């Protein structure tokens, strides 16, 4: 089987083995793009977008998408407490250093958007622009409760059809117009087939990081992180059915950021799939940040 990317393995600062997909690593004439997935998702979620950017007939663009520790092909951490945004920021920096990337455009879905904002505050020199996919400085408790209800707790499917059925029953209200092909793509990003049947693509102990959250108490104020994004162009994507990022928060983000482009994707929830027409929206945004000479 031929792949359109190379495997990139990197040692984290504490020695844990990390994995990333590296599309078009030889492309040097355009700013690279970094894909940071959601909490329990993997580098595979960016495949369609990465293909479109890295295989562009004119000015192909390098795309590096990460598996955080405990997800995908990265190793699991012996201590689940290390599944933490601060450590994942450090891991991301290790991957960027190993890949020789000094400045990039970041695409962060959900958890990845939080990491993107943290990077913008900690290492603004790395950032040329950002795409925040269904995440912002206000995280709605209802959305976090829903995510907490299924992370690491889903039944184990025996077939891909069962996997599709599990996800459809779990999330159909968020994605009422999803095709069977889209549900299957989501399922293959959630489980993989092993000698012992289907297993999760992440360490199930990831759920422990959510169990300790008091979602009845006020959530942390993330506006200071968002404020750090002001120097960079931002494309903020919201699913029209999202229960994590509200339309009101998206409007406040627009009002507080001098160069933020809001986009709402109808009939999708948390988080919109980076495919179809949305790819062109992202390509146009990136071209504005890094136009051809």
* pLDDT digit string, tens, across residues 236-264: 999 999 999 999 999 999 999 999 999 99
33 conformational bin, left if phi > 0, alpha if psi -120 to 50, beta if neither? beta
Beta bridge partners of 21: 7, 65
DSSP-derived secondary structure for the chain: ---SEEEEEEE-TTS-EEEEEEE-TT--SS--EEEE--TT--GGGGHHHHHHHHT-SSS---EEEEE-TTBTTSPPPSSGGG--HHHHHHHHHHHHHHHT-SSEEEEEETHHHHHHHHHHHH-GGGEEEEEEES--S---HHHHHHHHHHTTTPPPPSSHHHHHHHHHHHHTTT-TT--HHHHHHHHHHHEEEETTEEEESB-GGGGHHHHT--TTSPPP--HHHHHTTTTS-EEEEEETT-SSS-HHHHHHHHHH-TTEEEEEETT--SS--S-THHHHHHHHHHHHHS---
| pLDDT 10s digits, 20-48 | 999 999 999 999 999 999 999 999 999 99
Residue 235 has pLDDT above 80, yes or no: yes
- pTM higher than the cut 0.75: yes
Give helix 160-171 / helix 180-190 axis angle, nearest 10°.
100
Mean pLDDT of 75-79: 98
CATH of 5-140+220-289, one of 3.40.50.1820, 3.40.630.30, 1.10.10.10, 3.20.20.80: 3.40.50.1820
| pLDDT 10s digits, 184-196 | 999 999 999 988 8
Mean pLDDT of 144-148: 92
- Residue 1 banded pLDDT, cuts 50, 70, 90: very low
pLDDT for residue 293: 52
Q: Which tops the pLDDT comparison, 212 or 186?
A: 186
pLDDT for residue 212: 81
- Residue 3 banded pLDDT, cuts 50, 70, 90: low
SS (H, E, C) 167-212: HHHHHCCCCCCCCHHHHHHHHHHHEEEECCEEEECECHHHHHHHHC
The verdict on whether omega for the bond into residue 271 sits within 30 degrees of 0, i.e. cis, is: yes
| pLDDT 10s digits, 47-72 | 999 999 999 998 999 999 999 999 99
Q: Which residues contact residue 230 at a Cβ distance below 8 angstroms, ignoring those fewer than 6 apart? A: 256, 257, 258
- Please give the share of the chain, as a percent, with pLDDT higher than 90: 89
pLDDT for residue 163: 95
pLDDT for residue 162: 95
| pLDDT 10s digits, 156-170 | 999 999 999 999 999
User: Considering only CA atoms, which of 192, 193, 210 is closest in space to residue 201?
Assistant: 192
């Amino acid at each position: 089987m031929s792949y359109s990317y190379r495997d990139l393995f990197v040692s984290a600062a504490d020695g844990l083995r990390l994995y990333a997909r590296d599309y078009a690593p030889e492309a040097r004439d355009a700013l690279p793009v970094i894909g940071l997935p959601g909490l329990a998702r993997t580098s595979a979620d960016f495949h369609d977008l990465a293909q479109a950017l890295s295989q562009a007939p004119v000015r192909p663009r390098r795309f590096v998408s990460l598996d955080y520790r405990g997800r995908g092909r990265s190793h699991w951490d012996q201590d689940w407490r290390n599944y933490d945004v601060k450590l994942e920021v450090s891991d991301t920096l290790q991957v960027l250093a190993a890949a020789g990337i000094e400045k990039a455009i970041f695409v962060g879905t959900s958890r990845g958007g939080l990491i993107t904002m943290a990077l913008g505050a900690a290492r603004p020199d790395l950032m040329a622009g950002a795409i925040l996919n269904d995440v912002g400085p206000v995280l709605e408790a209802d959305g976090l409760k829903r995510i907490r209800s299924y992370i690491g707790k889903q039944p184990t499917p025996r077939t891909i059809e069962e996997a599709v059925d599990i996800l459809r029953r779990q999330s159909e209200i968020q994605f009422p117009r999803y095709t069977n092909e889209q549900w299957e793509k989501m399922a293959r990003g959630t489980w993989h087939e092993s000698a012992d049947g289907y297993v999760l693509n992440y360490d199930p102990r990831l759920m422990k990081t959510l169990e300790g959250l008091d979602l009845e108490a006020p959530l942390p104020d993330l506006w200071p992180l968002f404020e750090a994004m002001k120097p960079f162009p931002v494309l903020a994507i919201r699913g029209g059915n999202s229960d994590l990022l509200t339309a009101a928060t998206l409007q406040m983000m627009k009002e507080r950021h001098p160069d933020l482009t809001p986009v709402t994707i109808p009939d999708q929830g948390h988080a919109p799939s980076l495919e179809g027409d949305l790819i062109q929206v992202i390509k146009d945004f990136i071209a504005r940040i890094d136009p051809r000479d």
